[in-house]
Amino acid sequence: MGIPTPYQFARFTADGQSSAISWPGGRGVFAAFGTFGSGTIKLQASYDDGTTWIDVDRSGDTYVTFTANGAGGFELPKCQLRVSLSGSTSPSINSGVEHANQ
């Protein structure tokens, strides 16, 4: 079975985290769009089956961390992925990730 494209994470209407998905590894694109309500949405990865979550962006990077509509690339090994939204007021955001052409 091939990799489903795109993976749809979630529609956010409040701060919180999406459910996790299994990322098979490789290059991907994370996109988020909608009304951010001053919030920050970011892609997070877990390498221990969801016990510990780390931001995919390093401190100061904004490839997959957004405060407005955007899309950005990443390259990760096999892991769990989720999206986290914080600091928002009345958001309405759709987010998702898909495999990028190698």
Q: What is the pLDDT of residues 85-101, one digit of tens each?
A: 999 999 999 999 998 87
Q: Integer distance in angstroms from the first to the last C-alpha of the chain? A: 18
pLDDT of the residue at 6: 63
Identify the H or E element spanning 14: none
pLDDT digits (tens, 9 = 90+) for 59-90: 778 899 999 999 999 999 999 999 999 999 99
- Alpha-carbon span 57 to 81, nearest angstrom: 13
Prediction pTM value: 0.89
pLDDT digits (tens, 9 = 90+) for 2-57: 444 566 778 999 999 999 999 999 999 999 999 999 999 999 999 999 999 999 99
